[in-house]
Amino acid sequence: MSWVRAGNQQDNAELSATKVVIGENRYGRPVEGLVVGPLASGEWVAYVNRCRHQPLPLDSRPGEALIDADRQELICAAHGARYRMRDGVCTAGPCPGEALVPLRLERRGNEVWVEPPTDAVLQSLR
Ligand code: FES
């Protein structure tokens, strides 16, 4: 799968997490990426939307906050794992030290694009 357009984001946009389908796992189920930005540094980051505790998307419970109140971490709705936005490392919860799978990201003007992971990574996801 080639690069996927994740949206048209303005430089002054509010911090947000945007989901985009980046492929299928070995069961033919869609795998999503989370594109997050702009961070305080102005950077954008992208991760596979899959918790390291259990194979669930971070937003498996609709209505729960995905971004913490301090806008520094992503929170898994299932059991509260907290991941630093800038590097995807879990700082608290049931899987400390584990990290979200990063995705390459490119800004093309105001558009944000993500590169899907390799087939081997996609196939390893449940
Ligand atoms: S599945 Fe994410 S914290 Fe348990």
Show me where the domains of the chain are located: 4-121
Q: Separation of 11 CA from ligand 1 center, angstroms?
A: 31
| Segment 39-52, tens digit of pLDDT | 888 889 999 999 99
Which is it for the CA torsion 69, 73, 74, 79, positive or negative?
A: negative
Q: Which fold does the domain 4-121 belong to in CATH?
A: Rieske Iron-sulfur Protein (2.102.10)
Q: Separation of 80 CA from ligand 1 center, angstroms?
A: 6
Question: Does the beta carbon of 53 sit less than 6 angstroms from any atom of ligand 1?
Answer: yes
Where does residue 53 rank: exposed (0-12), middle (13-18), buried (19+ CB within 10 A)? Answer: middle
| Segment 86-115, tens digit of pLDDT | 999 999 999 999 999 999 999 898 899 999
Q: Separation of 12 CA from ligand 1 center, angstroms?
A: 31
Whole-structure pTM value: 0.93
CA distances from 15 to 26, 31, 94, 98 (A): 32, 22, 26, 24
- Name the DSSP class of 33: E
Amino acid identity for residue 26 in this structure: R
Nearest residue by C-alpha to atom 1 in ligand 1:
54
